Amino acid sequence: MKNLTNELLNDLANTKGDNCISILIPTSRVNNKNGYEKDKLSLKNELKNISNDLQYKKVDDKEIDKKLAPFYEMLEDEDFWAHQSDGLALYQTNDQFYKFKLPTSFQAVSFVGEYFYIKPLISYMNERKNCFLMSLSLNEVKLFELDGNQVNELNVGNLIPNKMTDTVGEDYEEKHLEGRASSNRGAQGVSYDNYHGHGRSNDTVKKKEALQYFHQINNGLEKRLNQKKIPLVVACVDYLFPIYQDANSYNFLEEEFIKGNPENVNIDELAEEAIGILSKYDDKRRKDRIERFNELYSHQQGSKDIEEIIPAIISGKVETLFINEEVEKFGKYDSKNHSVEISKDRSEGDNELINFAVIETLNNGGNVVSLSEEDIQISDFTLAATFRF
């Protein structure tokens, strides 16, 4: 089971073919049979809808059975259903089958078409509930991965030194570097005197030793971190973080960190603080993008018109697309005339146009942000976009 990353989202967006199957259902974290039978029933209902859609498309019954067989095999996997998150997203083509357990709930929905239905994934990707969390001190280093409400410690002992003395030797006396710590971990972290040593030259030596130690941590973890390229939040005492920043080469290190000595702090508490840091950054980024939209729109460099936006996306002119995930718009894009035809009722050959806009925006290197009418303050909000200069 893979984690949903930006790279995998782009893979989904790039997929095009006959009868791409998309199924999204809400699931339960309750790991007993009574708890997950409802989840299995949701999948069964969506499989019936998929089967009906394929029959309508005149797909042979044997081919339908073949395509749906992997889904029905999943229904027999009790262990799979006993370990769910809040939502399950399934995507299948003739040669690919993607499964994502996500800490976000979906309305049950299924689609068969030439594209995957990825629109419901955007708000999850915007929220960034997954990250690496590093508990960092001079005595120990631990690396965790957060995925929604799940926290897993990663085994990195063979990649990095366990403590600073493994790097600089046993003659190092930590008390000269860390000074004295208060016993209480307040909101601002442990109160440390900066580098109690024997003068500035001694302080410089100690900082160099810490930097050497952090370089080894950074170098040891670099390949592991870059496999997923998700945010890295560090928990450490105040003065160590700028030293770690100097050693760091990972592009997704968060600028804000969890202050205080993390050695004896419950990991759930650290995880909650890490998610809080990500949320603050995401809220700010969302507000900045809305402000940018309002500014550019006032200078005719943005649009609220779906019939203008979709041709602009196809032409690679859209920088950021804003979508309302709760709305569906069916219709067709005419590539010859670069025009959009919106259907009052869904008809054969229609695409869900917001999903189509999401896919084409990602394929053209643009950003996609999920918003509500209240966020962007546009009545009957469906799509909005800012244009590249």
Q: How many CA atoms lie within 13 A of 320 on its CB side?
A: 19
Q: Are residues 87 and 182 in the same domain?
A: no
Domain that holds residue 262: 130-282
The verdict on 381 and 307 lying in the same domain is yes
Asked which of 282, 313, 333 is the last residue of a domain, the reply is 282
pLDDT at residue 168, rounded to an integer: 66
Residue 90: inside a domain, yes or no?
yes
Spatial distance between the Cα atoms of 204 and 182, rounded to a whole number of angstroms: 24
Residue type at 217 in one-letter notation: I
- 373 part of a folded domain: yes
Domain for residue 253, yes or no?
yes
Do the domain assignments include residue 289?
no
Residue 378's pLDDT is: 84
Q: What is the pLDDT of residue 200?
A: 53
Average pLDDT over all residues of the chain: 87
pLDDT over threshold 60, residue 148: yes
Go through 62-93 and write b for each residue having 16 or more CB atoms within 10 A of its CB, e for each that does not.
Answer: eebeebbeebeebeeeeebbeebbbbbbbbbb
Pairing of strands 258-259, 232-236: parallel
The structural domain count of the chain equals 3
Instruction: Let me know if residue 290 belongs to a domain.
Output: no
Q: Are residues 327 and 196 in the same domain?
A: no
Residues 250 and 136 both lie in one domain: yes
| pLDDT surpassing 70 at residue 188 | no
pLDDT of amino acid 216: 95
Determine whether 345 is exposed, middle or buried from the number of CB atoms within 10 Å of its CB (0-12, 13-18, 19+): exposed
* pLDDT tens for each residue of 337-348: 999 999 988 888
359/275 same-domain check: no
Instruction: Say if residues 132 and 174 touch (Cβ distance below 8 Å).
Output: no
* pLDDT > 70? residue 165: yes
Q: Out of 117, 143, 158, pick the residue that ends a domain.
A: 117
CA–CA dist 317, 321 (Å, integer): 11
> How many whole angstroms separate alpha carbon 371 and alpha carbon 374?
8
160 in Cβ contact with 222 (< 8 Å): no
Whether 198 shows a pLDDT value over 80: the answer reads no
What are the residues whose beta carbons fall under 8 Å from the beta carbon of 264, sequence distance 6 or more?
A: none
Query: Percent helix, strand and coil across the chain, each rounded to 5?
Result: 40, 25, 35
- What is the pTM for the complete model shown? 0.72
- As a residue count, the chain comes to 389
Confidence of residue 6 (pLDDT cuts 50, 70, 90): confident
Mean pLDDT of 183-212: 57
CATH of the domain at 252: 3.30.420
The CATH number of the domain holding residue 31 is 3.30.960.10
Is 386 in a helix, a strand, or coil?
strand
pLDDT of residue 174: 46
Same domain for 146 and 66, yes or no, is: no
Query: Does the residue 356 lie in any domain?
Result: yes
Tell me: the pLDDT tens digits for 252-267? 999 999 999 999 899 9
Domain boundary among 117, 144, 171: 117
173 and 239, same domain (yes or no):
yes
Residue 291 lies in a domain: no
Query: Do the beta carbons of residue 181 and residue 261 sit within 8 Å?
Result: yes
Average pLDDT over residues 88-103: 93
Could you tell me if 335 and 207 lie in one domain? Answer: no
Q: What is the pLDDT of residues 16-41, one digit of tens each?
A: 998 999 999 999 887 777 778 999 99
Domain holding 380: CATH number? Answer: 3.30.1330.30
Burial (Cβ within 10 Å: 0-12, 13-18, ≥19) of residue 122: buried
Tell me: do 334 and 311 sit in the same domain: yes
Q: Are residues 13 and 151 in the same domain?
A: no
The answer to whether residue 1 sits within a structural domain is: no
Separation between Cα atoms, residue 126 and residue 118, nearest integer Å: 13
- Regarding whether 228 and 149 lie in a shared domain, the answer is yes
Residues 324 and 356 reside in one and the same domain: yes
